[in-house]
């Protein structure tokens, strides 16, 4: 435990030494508050502890935003660089304080185990948000500190597959995302094809970036015989927005449900209050991602969608299980999510509105890329006969762009996710041939994808979820 704690501190120091005192101060304060709550169950201590944690997040993430928005003055540039992992370790500690007040924390929790629980390095950068029930008991089990070769093999596989998702898939989409969103920020003329392909590219980039980091965190943790919670379960296969939020960033969804939605009253105070609570929860979940009105509106957007989803379910008891019905629900949910990601990714609200306007500017749907003229004429297709027009599309990369989107879309919609492949009990319907097994075939696959991933590490890269 001590070695892991030291390793976690060293890891954090390498990444963000300047903010190490802040994290240590936060840990010491929260542990002190937690012990006081366990001993006395005083509500005042809980309130002070929560205020302390939220104040840290406010100061280091939102001060500049409020100063520049409310007073229209120059920001302090205090939030130019957000302390690494502050949202994750702060939310983790808030849940600890609340559960201590509920009497769900054991009296035997020691400072070393709590320290490791908060600083445990696999989750610090991009989550998941940990819960004490999931981790502290594991840290106290002596058997966890023995070598387990099966866990090592599973952990390496998780890590390599996560690295492949991040470096090979997510980073390869950067050239198709950044230019089109930058063009939108300058209100350049964009065709619907350019906008939709840019939006799809970001949708897949964000998923494989965040999912890849989560897989790597699970894999590293598995090497030490510890089990981190799964944070993704094929979210783009969701058949509704409600289903999407049960699959996307699961640890955040659970935190918002247990420590915000339920305390607000949940669904215990009537349907109207339920919708209000859902809306407030999603808005605050959006704001959690950063100090920008785009995150606020993204939260509003999903809050409205979830309320409408619940309203629709209340009027429709019948739930079709036919393939066509499920297919249409999955595609429609995915498109709603894509629109939301445009708001999420945009520089500001004006950019997002302009981007969405160009996506749905139907008069320009007749435009086809000028570079396709030769291929169409060779196929004896005259676009003019169909009312189509050739247009220059500098932010559309032609057939390569389409092929890449089809490939990553296939990976998201039709293949099993990492945990389904590696953890047999999660899906017993999958044939054992597709299951991970410590055999030669899988060893070759992992060596190949890890080698190619390492080769690609030097390429252009974005760290999307670090900023949250």
Residue 183 is predicted with a pLDDT of: 95
What's the rounded Cα separation, in Å, for the pair 130 and 362?
45
* Cα 254-240-177 angle, rounded to 5 deg: 85
> Cis link prior to 296 (omega < 30° from 0)?
no
Q: In the 8-state DSSP scheme, what is residue 228?
A: P
What's the rounded Cα separation, in Å, for the pair 182 and 187?
9
157 shares a domain with 72: no
* Cα 405-410-414 angle, rounded to 5 deg: 160
Domain boundary (89, 120, 146) is at: 146
Give CA separation, 48 vs 30, 56, 58, 104, 378, in Å: 10, 12, 15, 19, 73
Closest Cα partner for 353 from 302, 291, 294? 294
103 shares a domain with 77: yes
Q: Which tokens go with 108?
A: 């035997």
What's the rounded Cα separation, in Å, for the pair 445 and 449?
6
155 shares a domain with 42: no
312 shares a domain with 163: yes
Angle between helix 86-101 and helix 111-119 axes, rounded to 10 deg:
140
Closest Cα partner for 253 from 299, 184, 190? 299
Give CA separation, 191 vs 142, 185, 204, 367, 375, in Å: 60, 15, 20, 8, 20
Residue 276 is predicted with a pLDDT of: 94
135 shares a domain with 182: no
Residue 286 is predicted with a pLDDT of: 92
382 shares a domain with 243: yes
Mapped onto helix, strand or coil, the DSSP state of residue 99 is helix
What's the rounded Cα separation, in Å, for the pair 146 and 217?
20
455 shares a domain with 308: yes
Residue 434 is predicted with a pLDDT of: 46
Mapped onto helix, strand or coil, the DSSP state of residue 321 is coil
Q: Is the pTM of this model over 0.85?
A: yes
What's the rounded Cα separation, in Å, for the pair 118 and 86?
11
Q: Note whether 369 and 390 are within 8 A (CB).
A: yes
The kind and range of the H/E element at 65 are helix 63-70
427 shares a domain with 340: yes
pLDDT in tens, the chain (468 residues): 788 888 888 988 887 888 899 999 999 999 999 999 988 888 899 999 999 999 988 888 887 777 766 665 555 555 456 777 888 889 899 999 999 998 888 877 888 889 988 988 888 777 788 888 888 888 877 777 788 888 888 899 999 999 999 999 999 999 999 999 999 999 999 999 999 999 999 999 999 999 999 999 999 999 988 888 889 999 999 999 999 999 999 999 999 999 999 999 888 888 889 999 999 999 999 998 888 899 999 999 999 999 999 988 877 655 555 555 788 999 999 999 999 999 999 999 999 999 999 999 988 888 888 887 777 777 777 777 777 788 889 888 888 899 999 999 999 999 888 888 887 544 444 333 446 777 788 888 889 999 988 888 866 666 666 555
Q: What is the helix, strand, coil percentage profile of the chain, to 5?
A: 70, 0, 25
Q: How many domains does the chain have?
A: 2
What's the rounded Cα separation, in Å, for the pair 11 and 281?
33
Domain boundary (115, 146, 177) is at: 146
**Helices vs. strands in the chain: H and E counts, helices first:** 21, 2
The kind and range of the H/E element at 160 are helix 149-163
Residue with tokens 């296969």: 237
Domain boundary (146, 174, 202) is at: 146
442 shares a domain with 416: yes
161 shares a domain with 231: yes
228 shares a domain with 117: no
Q: Which tokens go with 363?
A: 């008069």
163 shares a domain with 69: no
Range of the domain at 336: 150-467
What's the rounded Cα separation, in Å, for the pair 463 and 457?
13
Residue with tokens 């945009």: 346
Residue 459 is predicted with a pLDDT of: 64
Which residues form the catalytic set?
289
**b (16+ CB within 10 A) / e for 186-209:** eeeebbbbbbbbbbbbbbbbbbbb
């Amino acid at each position: 435990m001590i070695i892991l704690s030291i390793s976690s501190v060293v890891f954090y120091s390498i990444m963000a030494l300047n903010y190490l005192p802040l994290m240590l101060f936060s840990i010491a304060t929260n542990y002190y508050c937690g012990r006081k709550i366990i001993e006395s169950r005083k509500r005042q201590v809980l309130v002070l502890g929560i205020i302390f944690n939220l104040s840290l997040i406010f100061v280091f993430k939102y001060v500049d935003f409020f100063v520049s928005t409310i007073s229209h003055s120059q920001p302090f540039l205090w939030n130019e660089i957000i302390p690494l992992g502050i949202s994750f370790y702060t939310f983790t500690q808030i849940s600890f304080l609340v559960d201590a007040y509920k009497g769900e924390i054991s009296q035997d929790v020691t400072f070393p185990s709590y320290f490791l629980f908060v600083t445990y390095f696999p989750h610090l950068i991009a989550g998941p948000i940990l819960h004490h029930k999931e981790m502290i008991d594991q840290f106290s089990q002596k058997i966890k500190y023995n070598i387990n070769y099966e866990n090592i093999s599973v952990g390496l596989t998780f890590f390599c597959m996560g690295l492949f998702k991040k470096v090979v898939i997510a980073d390869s989409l950067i050239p198709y995302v950044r230019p089109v969103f930058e063009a939108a920020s300058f209100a350049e003329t964009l065709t619907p094809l350019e906008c939709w392909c840019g939006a799809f590219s970001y949708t897949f980039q964000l998923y494989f970036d965040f999912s890849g980091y989560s897989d790597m965190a699970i894999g590293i943790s598995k090497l030490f015989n510890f089990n981190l919670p799964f944070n993704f379960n094929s979210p783009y296969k969701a058949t509704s927005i409600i289903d999407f939020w049960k699959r996307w960033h699961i640890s955040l969804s659970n935190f918002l449900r247990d420590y915000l939605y339920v305390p607000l009253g949940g669904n215990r105070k009537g349907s109207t209050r339920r919708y209000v609570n859902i809306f407030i929860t999603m808005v605050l979940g959006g704001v959690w991602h950063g100090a920008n009105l785009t995150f606020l509106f993204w939260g509003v957007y999903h809050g409205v969608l979830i309320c409408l989803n619940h309203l629709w379910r209340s009027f429709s008891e019948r739930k079709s299980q036919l393939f066509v019905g499920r297919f249409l629900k999955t595609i429609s949910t995915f498109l709603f999510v894509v629109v939301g990601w445009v708001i999420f990714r945009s520089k500001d609200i004006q950019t997002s509105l302009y981007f969405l306007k160009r996506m749905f500017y139907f008069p320009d749907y007749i435009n086809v890329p000028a570079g396709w003229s030769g291929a169409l004429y060779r196929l004896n297709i005259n676009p003019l006969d169909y009312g189509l027009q050739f247009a220059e599309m500098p932010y559309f990369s032609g057939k390569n762009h389409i092929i890449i989107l089809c490939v990553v879309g296939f990976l998201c919609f039709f293949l099993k996710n990492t945990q389904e492949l590696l953890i047999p009990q999660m899906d017993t319907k999958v044939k054992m041939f597709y299951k991970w097994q410590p055999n030669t075939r899988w060893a070759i696959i992992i060596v190949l994808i890890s080698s190619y991933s390492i080769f690609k590490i030097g390429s252009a890269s974005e760290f999307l979820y670090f900023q949250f």
